[in-house]
Amino acid sequence: MIDVQRIRQDFPLLRDQQKPLVYFDNACMSMRPSEVISAIRTYYETMPACAGRSNHHLAVLVSQAVDESRVAVKNFVHAKKKEEIIFTRNTSEGLNLLARSLHLKHGDVVVVSDKEHNSNLVPWLYLHTTLGIEVRIVPSTTTNEADLSNWERALTGNVKAVSLVYTSNLDGVTNPVKEITKMAHKIRAVVIVDAAQAAPHQVIDVQDLDVDFLVFSAHKLCGPSGMGVLYGKYALLDALEPFMVGGDTVERTSYTSYTLLPVPERFEAGLQDYAGIMGTKAAVDYLSRIGLSHIHDHEVSLNMLLTKGLSEMSRVHIIGPQEAAKRSGIASFTVDGADHHQIALMLDKVGNVCVRSGQHCVHSWFTDRKIAGSVRASLYFYNTTEEVSIFLDTLRKVLAVL
């Protein structure tokens, strides 16, 4: 069980709020606990130096801190070794790195689900346009869940990669990544997992899943903005050409040649966001201390309450399965006769309730179904049942007007 009230004391915005704030936009960005903010500040205040270059004592401290962060993230996703962890700016950068480094060519097939975030769709569509690869879309069931038979049918032919979302930011549905990975490996396709929405809310075990690559961002798991992680099996990473080269990616250079550093440094070009890396360690440590299974359970219990309330509103239609347990901490919904942006704006104005409205960067799904957009409430471990009640009460009032 989570002691939410105690946890809320760790978050300055929740602890010091004047007017009760209901923050239900966690699928976009989570809040940061004091210890993450403190870790970032520690870098700037006590060791504002380079890692992996200089030999003075501050540089050594930073190098140690980066290494410790890599180990912490390795443990967070249960990777085999720390070298399998590459720090990026965000999920999009991780996915672009892979899309550009896999050496895909004309006629190769990349398989994606029909609910991919633009981060995991546009890089492949770009290669479709520039190289002529085929992007194969796997349709979900009518309740927006993965249909394994569709995946089986899609995984034929010249499939080189499967790139799919772990937990959808659209509706919170978690895909059976382990099963799909097995299918993909049978045809020797690499599996890339967009875990941006999964990593903050559930235990990630890359070895158990047996995925080849997994990417996520820190800002959704209480970490700093502008920090992301790319996990890859060491052998696969070692075989990849780097996405960017330059400072701190090479062992030596002459005027005519260069020798790349080993993984992971060869993928971390230029000066890194050391404060962000330290903040990421603080974030994963913080989440691990609370326990991701506890976090998941808490979110689901809140979502059940939320879903029950939404289901009682006749004009509201939840996207995805009706069972809250299948949607993690996300409830995305449309309302008959009301504009989603207007609902979100009024929830904010009337009840200080922050939710997301629009197409949530999954434009392709909405375009295909000719739906203008939805309202998305996304929960996290610091949210409370009282906040769910405030959200539902405010929504009722707003819908009484709209």
Partner 1 sequence: MFCFASLLVLAILSIFSARYREPTKQALDCVFRRVTLRPCTTGFDVKVKSVILSKLMLRWPSVARFINKRFELLSWIFVITFFVSLAWSVRGGYLFWSTGNCNGLNQGGFCAFDPTGKNNAVSGMGLECRTGGAPTGDLTLSGLDLNQFPLMEGKTDKQLVFIGCYACKYTKQTYPLIKQLIASYHPSVRFVFYSTHPEADYLMAYDYAVQTLAPTKYFDWMDALYLESHDSVASESATIQLIKDLGIDMEAVHKIIVDPATKAMTQKRKYAIDTTGIYGTPTIFMNGVPVVGPKPYRVYRQMLNQTWF
User: Residue 361 catalytic?
Assistant: yes
Preceding peptide of 264 cis, ω within 30°: yes
> Which residue of 192, 282, 287, 398 would you call a contact of partner 1, by CB under 8 A?
398
CA 171, 174, 180, 185 dihedral sign is positive
- Which of 350, 363, 366, 371 touches partner 1 (CB under 8 A)? 350
From the candidates 50, 222, 354, 361, which is the catalytic residue? 361
Distance CA 91, CA 215 (A): 6
Q: Helix, strand or coil for residue 351? A: helix
- Tell me the window of 73-81, 85-93, 136-144, 336-344 that interacts with partner 1 (CB under 8 A): 336-344
DSSP string for 87-137: EESSHHHHHHHHHHHS---TT-EEEEETT--GGGTHHHHHHHHHT--EEEE
215 lies in the site for partner 1, by CB under 8 A: no
Q: Does 335 bind partner 1 (CB under 8 A)?
A: no
| Candidate residues 339, 352, 371, 384; the one interacting with partner 1 per rule CB under 8 A | 339
Q: In the bound complex, what is the minimum distance in angstroms from residue 342's beta carbon to partner 1?
A: 5
- Give the C-alpha separation, 163 to 66, whole Å: 28
Q: How many chain residues are in contact with partner 1, going by CB under 8 A? A: 12
Q: For residue 64, count other CB atoms closer than 10 A to its CB.
A: 12
Tell me how far apart the terminal alpha carbons of the chain are, to the nearest angstrom: 38
d(CA 149, CA 155): 10
Residues in CB range of 152: below 8 A, 6 or more apart: 183
Q: Which of 2, 245, 305, 345 binds partner 1 (CB under 8 A)?
A: 345
392 binds partner 1 (CB under 8 A): no
Which of 97, 155, 346, 390 touches partner 1 (CB under 8 A)? 346
Compare residues 187 and 338 and give the one whose CB is closer to partner 1.
Answer: 338
CB of 348 to partner 1, least distance (A): 8
Shortest Cβ 117–partner 1 spacing (Å) = 21
Site for partner 1 in 43-72 (CB under 8 A): none
Residues 166, 174 contacting (CB under 8 angstroms): yes
Taking the least distance from each CB to partner 1, the nearer of 187 and 350 is 350
For partner 1, which stretch binds (CB under 8 A), given 3-11, 188-196, 308-316, 340-348?
340-348
237 makes contact with partner 1 (CB under 8 A): no
CA–CA separation, 298 and 284 (whole Å): 18
Smallest separation (angstroms) from partner 1 to the CB of 397: 6
Q: Determine the residue type at 47.
A: M
Catalogue the active-site residues.
361
Residues that bind partner 1 (CB under 8 A): 339, 341-342, 345-346, 349-350, 397-398, 400-402
